[in-house]
A and B are shown apart, each in its own frame.
Chain A
Amino acid sequence: MKKKILLVEDEQNLCLLYKEELKEAGYNVTAVLDADSALERIKKNTYDLIVTDIRMPGKNGIDLITQIMALRKDIPIIINTAYQSYKHDFMTWAADAYVVKSSSLAELKAKIKELVG
């Protein structure tokens, strides 16, 4: 069985890139553009991993993580962001990994492998 990943990324092109690359790496990827859509999916489906951006219009990634924690405590979460500085944010402790976006997706893929195989 392919592992199911829910990807939250508000930049459309970037979202497409991650989706394609993670599919290529052998995962079953659902990609959404905002936190509210992500929450809807989480309520209805089960995922093995969530990869989320932090700065997004509307609800941000930190709020999303807080709400996921209340819903499904056991889903591993990877923060994937352009910002180094959120690493010091109080709520990022709840995530299992913190990745700063890079054009090489090697680090992101490695963290995913580490968490879900």
Chain B
Amino acid sequence: MIERYHILLHEFHQETSKELQLFSIIAQSFFQPFSLIDNLLVILTALTSGTGLGFNRAMLFLAGGDKLRGEIWLGPASAEEAASIWRVLSTPGIGYLEIIEHNRSLLRGDAGTLTKRIKKTAYPLGTVNPLVPALAAFSRDIVLVRDARHEPLVDPAFLEMIDADEFLCMPLLAEQSVLGEIILDNAITKLPIKSRDIELASICGLIAGNYIYTSNLQRRIVDMKRVAAMGEMAMFVTHQLRNPIVTIGGFADQLLDPKVPETKKKRNLQIIRDEIRGMEKILLRLGQFLRVDIKQQVPVDVRDLFKLVTEAVRPKTADASITIKSEVEEGLSAILCDPVHVGEALRNLIDNALDALGPGGELNLRAYRDSGGWAVLSVQDNGRGIPNAVKGKIFDAFVSTKKHGMGLGLPYVKRVVDGCGGRIDVESEEGKGTTFRLYFRAKPQEREIPG
């Protein structure tokens, strides 16, 4: 027997403790595409949601450089406001989305002014004898401060800001590093902070620390990928431009020699101009590739598309005595795409096919619906096929087997098809030929109106 459960807050058993429910809210929020601060806001909310874990207010500091910097200060400014907020938050069945929304509005309202106050504050982490609040982060201990006004280890400016006698400082730690600190108090209800409160808060602190750590890692991965892609492009462009630059520089040097005859001067200038034109072409192609931006998708008649691209290559195919055939399945009229980019993508595939075909070669364009409901455009040739060595890399930018190839043709095709919400695949065998298949959404068939 199999039983299935979806983990949703309102389905929790009545006896499930409030604390567990709140932890579930936190856990679920991490699966949402919210920002770091939004998700930390959920944790602060769990800590301060009145009847929940029970603190009145929560401050969040994040470690940046060698300082703790104020980020959010969540909580009511007065007892009246507290009562109204807690009424809302104790409504049965309230979900994490509502809580976040509520707190976003809170941040814009009065609590926003609290946050504004904390935003300006920063406490150094590297000092020899740190005062509270930096002390907790520095020592990596949870620090409970009682009778704060008589405690010399509390920073006086911080005390003035928080204006509470008792508060809990909880460092956010992960992997040996200090990532921030949460400070909790009961400034409104004046209830004492108990050991159970500290236990629950410490679990929230662990979750928050690990969450910050993971999202920092994720951000670093994204950054690294971006840097790697940029590095690859920079290296490629450097190499593409080095040959023409060396040529231009060398022939320009010759021009500076006063003994150079007029005919050679003219020749050198022509070479220099040609090389510059070549460099312009490189930059143009690179620019085109980087600017693929598909916004509008319209129904496009496949027959028109095929006709347009085959006519454009007609002179080339006739010269090389290559046969080009196209076939569109009955009933498939239009695909949804950007006609300009898809036309250009087909041109790219056909140009590649023509390069791979010898005299007497055959090129087949087909359009049909597959069993999954996709409209498929296929470009098939019986040419030399893709060498095994580059098969896995054909859609990577800057991989080319041609002399002046930029390696941007197939990556461009892929970007276009992806941009239209479709996909591309390829089948190729050395010596036998290659088939590219482009999958698009078909235009929904119109129902025939009877009579």
Contact = CB atoms under 8 A, between A and B. Distances in A.
Chain A interface extent, by class: 10 to 19
Interface string A55-90: 001000000000000000000000000110100000
A57 to B, nearest CB: 4
A74 B82 CA distance: 90
Nearest to B401: A57
B187 to A, nearest CB: 62
B239 A103 contact: no
Interface string B229-263: 00000010001001101111111111000000000
B239 A14 contact: no
Contacts of B271: 13, 16
A103 B239 CA distance: 14
B250 A21 contact: yes
Contacts of B155: none
A20 B254 contact: yes
Contacts of B254: 20
B239 A17 contact: no
A47 B369 CA distance: 63
B249 A104 contact: yes
B101 interface: no
A103 B246 contact: yes
B245 A13 contact: no
B151 interface: no
A46 interface: no
A4 B253 CA distance: 24
Nearest to B278: A13
A47 B251 CA distance: 26
A103 to B, nearest CB: 2
A36 interface: no
A82 B242 contact: yes
A101 interface: yes
Interface residues of B, number: 19
A82 B239 contact: yes
B110 interface: no
A82 B247 CA distance: 12
A14 B242 contact: no
A103 B245 contact: yes
B274 interface: yes
A101 B274 contact: no
B403 interface: yes
A83 B251 contact: no
The interface centre, meaning the residue of A13, A82, A101 with most chain B CB atoms within 10 A of its CB, is A13
A4 to B, nearest CB: 22
Interface string A73-117: 000000000110100000000000000011111000000000000
A21 B239 CA distance: 22
Interface string A1-41: 00000000011011011001100000000000000000000
A9 B379 CA distance: 36
B165 interface: no
A57 B400 CA distance: 11
Contacts of A16: 271
B403 A17 contact: no
Interface string B249-287: 111111000000000000000010011000000000000
A15 to B, nearest CB: 10
B243 A101 contact: yes
A62 to B, nearest CB: 14
B312 to A, nearest CB: 26
A102 B235 CA distance: 16
A103 B321 CA distance: 43
Contacts of A83: 239
Contacts of B239: 82-83
Contacts of A105: 250
6 contacts: A11-B243, A11-B247, A17-B251, A85-B235, A102-B246, A103-B246
Given A14-B250, A103-B250, 5 more contacts: A13-B274, A17-B246, A17-B247, A57-B403, A103-B248
**Top 8 closest pairs, chain A to chain B, by CB:** A103-B249, A82-B242, A57-B403, A17-B250, A101-B246, A13-B247, A14-B247, A103-B246
